[in-house]
Amino acid sequence: MPADTSPVLRHVVLFAFKNEAPSEAVDAIVAAFAALPAAIPGIAAYESGTNVSPEGLNDGLTHCFTLTFAAAEDRDAYLNHPEHQRFVGMLGTCLERAVVVDYWVR
């Protein structure tokens, strides 16, 4: 990272959906996640996509979401924000498991 650039915090979320989860419900979850940056201040950037790796090492994780924050306080506010909490409440019947990793970009 160039010396004149402030470090940023990445929040990476990986989802594995249940086999029986309806595709419409999965699509609704993906759309709801994509709507969070407009609803929650402090999210500097958002990306998402589905696994396309040919290596076969995804261990059932199919969807990746990456949020960028300028500060840990922004990430913490996101985690506690009512819209994020509402989103988390949507996951119950469709989500098999989730993995979350946060890191400071170097």
Query: Domain with 87 in it: what CATH number?
Result: 3.30.70.100
Does pLDDT of 1 surpass 50?
no
Instruction: Round to whole Å and give the CA distance between 65 and 34.
Output: 9
Q: Is residue 2 part of a domain?
A: no
**Position 6 confidence tier, pLDDT thresholds 50, 70, 90:** confident
On average, the pLDDT of the chain sits at 95
Q: Number of folded domains in the chain?
A: 1
Q: What is the pLDDT of residues 21-55, one digit of tens each?
A: 999 999 999 999 999 999 999 999 999 999 999 99
**0.85 exceeded by pTM:** yes
**Domain that includes residue 51, residue range:** 10-104
User: If 0-12 CB within 10 Å is exposed, 13-18 middle and 19+ buried, where does residue 15 land?
Assistant: buried
Q: Is residue 1 part of a domain?
A: no
Burial 25-55 (b: 16+ CB within 10 A, else e): bbeebbeebeebbeebebbeebeeeeeeeee
